[in-house]
Amino acid sequence: MGLFDRRRRADLPTEVRQAVPLRSGDRVIAWAKDEQSGGHVVASTQQLAFVGPDASLVWQRPWHEAESGTWQSDSGLLTVIWVDHRRPAQWMIREPSMLQQALRERIQASVVLSDEFRTESRRSVRVVIRQDFATGELLEQVIAGKGADPNDPAVAAEAARRLAVLRSEVGL
């Protein structure tokens, strides 16, 4: 099948689109239907949202709260890991979609500057300055890797030192 022979993908259902509140300047850029729940994952320029199968908004979160996203092409499993370590969001997406690309691009675009260091126990900690796309505000994040304790005084001091450097680099 050639590039121009592909079927045009159906539009996002109106009731799903209407369930996602968009601020001024925000627009839907990608979406996909979750094969497990029948709901829809909707990516906009400012946020990621999940709309249930009954077209009600289940949740929405700004991009700066997403730490990473992975897609397993063999199984169709799309996973989003959150900065606050809440339970990851997972969906089964096998239909062609631009959602995976939008997810990667929006998460990366929200990162203004970052730095990473290892604790004494060799655990990683990232310090990040990210942008809230809705307000333009720059936000600081300390993201502790598995087994790292951000409340450990040595870790907290190193994170604070590195955040100070990042703040000075962006003029905060």
Of 104, 44, 51, 46, which Cα lies nearest the Cα of 78? 104
Using the 8-state DSSP alphabet, how is residue 104 labeled? Answer: H
Instruction: Tell me the C-alpha distance between 162 and 44, whole Å.
Output: 31
Share above pLDDT 90 across residues of the chain, in percent, rounded to a whole number: 77
Average pLDDT over residues 119-138: 94
Instruction: Tell me the C-alpha distance between 104 and 138, whole Å.
Output: 19
Q: What is the pLDDT of residues 58-83, one digit of tens each?
A: 999 999 999 999 988 889 999 999 99
One-letter amino acid at 20 equals: V
Instruction: Tell me the C-alpha distance between 35 and 136, whole Å.
Output: 34
SS3 for 135-158, per residue? CCCEEEEEEECCCCCCCCHHHHHH
Pull the structure tokens for residue 80: 């989003």
Over 80: is that where the pLDDT of 37 sits? yes
Using the 8-state DSSP alphabet, how is residue 87 labeled? Answer: P
Instruction: Please count the residues of the chain.
Output: 172
Q: What is the pLDDT of residues 76-124, one digit of tens each?
A: 999 999 998 899 999 999 887 899 999 999 999 999 999 999 998 899 9
Residue 5: predicted pLDDT: 43
Instruction: Tell me the C-alpha distance between 101 and 84, whole Å.
Output: 23
Q: Do the beta carbons of residue 132 and residue 64 sit within 8 Å? A: yes
Average pLDDT over residues 49-66: 97
Instruction: Please give the model's pTM, rounded to 2 decimal places.
Output: 0.86
Residue 7: predicted pLDDT: 47
Residue 146: predicted pLDDT: 87
Question: pLDDT confidence of 1, banded at 50, 70, 90?
Answer: very low
Pull the structure tokens for residue 3: 């590039």
Using the 8-state DSSP alphabet, how is residue 167 labeled? Answer: H
Q: What is the mean pLDDT of the chain?
A: 91
Residue 171: predicted pLDDT: 87
